[in-house]
Structure 1
Amino acid sequence: MDFSIASILMLDGFTNGAVYALLGLATVLVFSVTRVIFIPQGEFVAYGALTLAIFQTGKVPGTVWLLLIMAALAALLDARLSWQHSGDFKRAAKAALVTLAAPVVVSGLAIWAAPLQLPLLVQALLTVAIVTAFGPLVYRLAYQSLADASALVLLIVSVGVHFALTGLGLLFFGAEGFRNPSFWDTRLNLGPLVISGQAIIIMLTSLALIVLLYQFFSRTLYGKALQATAVNRLGARLMGISTHGAGQASLAMAALIGALSGLLIGPTTTVFYDSGFLIGLKGFVAAVMGGLHSYPLAALGALFVGLAESFGSFWASAFKEVIVFTLVLPILLWRSVADGHSEEH
């Protein structure tokens, strides 16, 4: 291996690591607020890439119909809960309408825009809006009633949600893979390196989100209030913090990050309905390397995973996944031993 090959592999590693960093950030975000180890994060990535791909064909993406179904189920649950608490039909109807409002508006725009073949950027914005709307609905349907359960129960629910979303992805998108057009076709020549515009967009987006999330949770009152729900849910409620609202907000942000990640990787690889799991798993490893609480450390862990994958694929492409997860095992073991543990009740 000479310097030029090493440089190319490092560039690929940093590019992939930037995507894993986004997913690691989303995992840290959700865990920091809800105590949920969010296994289905990768499904948001696949949904983002595949939704944009279907828009490119001029058809209505299947995620639109899935969004409407989930919104209807969540609205029924909210109406029933409101009716039980108040016995007021108008209040129950209002609760259902509030839940339905955003998904119906987003779905209506998507159905109207799909056959018009709008510019790529507009389709990308619609895709982000559709996938982001899934976040609060997933929390409402799968996690909200179990918010006070143990971390183990929440983890089991996450595994179930992962399998459900993967199966629904196969139903609504089919088994065929898609590859999206690049958002920026320019290429920069730096010696032996050829840096694509898409790689630049990936790195800048990842860096911007790392900074924004760190500032949001460490500097703003609302960010600290969200984190308080994971530390002490009862104390947060006594302080006037809506724990259910915090959970839905965290899942919405995670879905937004997942959708952006899907748009970023769509032009670099063919995405299938089940492609999100392995990508999300590498983001989860990065989050664990950051202790599931540190955004900067999660980002550094993601870069390590990306570099290990890139160089591993050069030396033994058939075993690159094995190499990645084998190399991170000692680090995960060290994190487990170094961090304090408290028994979950």
Structure 2
Amino acid sequence: MDLQIALLLTQDGITNGAIYALLALALALVLVFAVTRVIFIPQGEFVAFGALTLASLQAGKLPATIWLLLGLGTVIALIEGSLALRDRQFGRLPVILLVNCGVPLLLAGALVALVALSPASLPLPVQVLLALMLVVPLGPMIYRLAYQPIAEASVLVLLIVSVALHVTLIGIGLLFFGAQGSRTLAFTDISFEVGDALLQSQTMLVVVASQVLIVALYFFFERTIYGKALRATAMNRTGARLMGISGTLAGMLSFTLAAAIGACSGILISPITTVYYDSGFLIGLKGFVGAIIGGLASYPMAAAGAILVGLLESYSSFWASAFKEVIVFTLIIPVLLWRSLTTRHVEEE
């Protein structure tokens, strides 16, 4: 291995690690795990759905994600509508129908019109915005249907639901997007020479965008009311409820942010790697490994753990490409052993 190869491997490792860092923060910290006690395995599916939805728009097709949005919205409208009728809260019905059915229908109508006018001709920022509008609402909808009814269940039950949801979304992804992979157009084609290595601006964009989102998350949790409410729920769910913080609102908000981060991650990496319907699982799992290394409690440590995973994966692909996944996931064993021996065990209430 010479210096040029080492620079290329380091570049790839940092790029992958930046994506894993985003998913580590979304998957295992305040956003999902600490707030809802859910180990959200389907986090990676938002990565795949975000990338493949954007690819469908750029191919001039109607993204099949809109049908999932309409279906989930209809089911939620039926459930919420029946609850409103049972409680004689008739004034809620128009809002329920508008939010869960009206908005997705308007979005579907707009997309059908755009497909007729060739959405590939739209500016790239507009395409990205449309993809996010289709994928991000799936987060709170999934929480409402799958997790809110069992919010007080044990962590094991919530994990089993996550596994079932992951399998379901994988099947839906195969049905919607097919088995073939897709790539999207690059945000920029500029490249720079660093010594003997060629540095692509697209990879720099991934790292910069990841840093911006991580900083935005930090300010959200430190400076906003909703962020502080999520932190309070993460620290003490019962105490947060006594202070008037809705556990349902905290869960919906955390899943919304997790879906947004997953979709953004998929859109960022889609120009530099081929994304398949099931690609998100390994990406999300490696983000989870990074979060475990970071201890599930520290933003800087989770980000550092994710970067370590990215670098280890990159160098493993050079030295032993057939075993790179094994090497990455084996890293979690000594970390868990060390934490098991040094952490005071407390029975869950």
Same fold (TM over 0.5): yes
Q: Is the 8 A contact 1:15 1:202 kept in 2?
A: yes
**88-97 or 256-265: bigger deviation:** 88-97
User: 2:188 matched to which residue of 1?
Assistant: 184
The reply to whether residue 253 of structure 1 matches residue 257 of structure 2 is yes
Match of 1:315 among 304, 315, 319: 319
Matches within 5 A, 1:236-315: 236-315=240-319
Report the Cα offset of residue 287 of structure 1: 1.3
User: 1:45 matched to which residue of 2?
Assistant: 47
Report the Cα offset of residue 101 of structure 1: 4.6
1:329 and 1:215 mapped to 2: Cα distance?
33
User: 1:12 matched to which residue of 2?
Assistant: 12
> 4+ residue stretches of structure 1 with deviation over 4 A?
none
2:18 and 2:267 mapped to 1: Cα distance?
13
Report the Cα offset of residue 235 of structure 1: 2.9
Report the Cα offset of residue 343 of structure 1: 1.5
User: 1:145 matched to which residue of 2?
Assistant: 149
Report the Cα offset of residue 200 of structure 1: 0.9
Question: Amino acid of the residue matched to residue 25 of structure 1?
Answer: L
Root-mean-square deviation (CA, aligned residues, Å) is 1.7
Question: Amino acid of the residue matched to residue 238 of structure 2?
Answer: L
Q: Which runs of 5+ in 1 are unaligned?
A: none
Question: Amino acid of the residue matched to residue 211 of structure 2?
Answer: L
Q: Is the 8 A contact 2:35 2:230 kept in 1?
A: yes
Secondary structure of the corresponding residue to residue 61 of structure 1: coil
Q: Is the 8 A contact 1:70 1:137 kept in 2?
A: yes
Report the Cα offset of residue 102 of structure 1: 4.2
Identity %: 58
The reply to whether residue 203 of structure 1 matches residue 210 of structure 2 is no
1:110 and 1:336 mapped to 2: Cα distance?
51
Question: Amino acid of the residue matched to residue 302 of structure 1?
Answer: A
Question: Amino acid of the residue matched to residue 180 of structure 1?
Answer: T
Question: Amino acid of the residue matched to residue 40 of structure 2?
Answer: F
Residues 242 and 303 of structure 1: is their aligned pair in 2 closer, same or farther, counting only changes over 3 Å? same
Residues 283 and 176 of structure 1: is their aligned pair in 2 closer, same or farther, counting only changes over 3 Å? same
The reply to whether residue 334 of structure 1 matches residue 338 of structure 2 is yes
The reply to whether residue 87 of structure 1 matches residue 91 of structure 2 is no
Secondary structure of the corresponding residue to residue 142 of structure 1: helix
Residues 19 and 69 of structure 1: is their aligned pair in 2 closer, same or farther, counting only changes over 3 Å? same
Q: Is the 8 A contact 2:183 2:273 kept in 1?
A: yes
Residues 332 and 110 of structure 1: is their aligned pair in 2 closer, same or farther, counting only changes over 3 Å? farther
Secondary structure of the corresponding residue to residue 194 of structure 1: strand
Q: Is the 8 A contact 2:32 2:258 kept in 1?
A: yes
User: 2:112 matched to which residue of 1?
Assistant: 111
Question: Amino acid of the residue matched to residue 98 of structure 2?
Answer: L
Report the Cα offset of residue 114 of structure 1: 3.1
1:103 and 1:135 mapped to 2: Cα distance?
14
User: 1:55 matched to which residue of 2?
Assistant: 57
User: 1:98 matched to which residue of 2?
Assistant: 99
1:101 and 1:337 mapped to 2: Cα distance?
53
Q: Is the 8 A contact 2:189 2:202 kept in 1?
A: yes
**323-332 or 281-290: bigger deviation:** 323-332
User: 1:156 matched to which residue of 2?
Assistant: 160
Partner deviation per Cα, 1:165-222 (whole Å, 9 max, x = no partner): 1111111111111111111110011112211111011000111111121222234332
Residues 125 and 195 of structure 1: is their aligned pair in 2 closer, same or farther, counting only changes over 3 Å? same
1:228 and 1:100 mapped to 2: Cα distance?
32
Question: Amino acid of the residue matched to residue 89 of structure 2?
Answer: D
User: 2:33 matched to which residue of 1?
Assistant: 31
Partner deviation per Cα, 1:79-130 (whole Å, 9 max, x = no partner): 122223x223343443343333543444343333234322222111110111
Secondary structure of the corresponding residue to residue 127 of structure 1: helix
Question: Amino acid of the residue matched to residue 40 of structure 1?
Answer: P
1:304 and 1:92 mapped to 2: Cα distance?
50
Question: Amino acid of the residue matched to residue 36 of structure 1?
Answer: V
Question: Amino acid of the residue matched to residue 304 of structure 1?
Answer: L
After TM superposition, the score normalised by the length of structure 2 is 0.94
Q: Which runs of 5+ in 2 are unaligned?
A: none
User: 2:77 matched to which residue of 1?
Assistant: 75
Secondary structure of the corresponding residue to residue 260 of structure 1: helix
Q: Is the 8 A contact 2:292 2:332 kept in 1?
A: no
Question: Amino acid of the residue matched to residue 87 of structure 1?
Answer: R
Report the Cα offset of residue 10 of structure 1: 0.8
The reply to whether residue 127 of structure 1 matches residue 131 of structure 2 is yes
Question: Amino acid of the residue matched to residue 274 of structure 1?
Answer: D
1:104 and 1:273 mapped to 2: Cα distance?
25
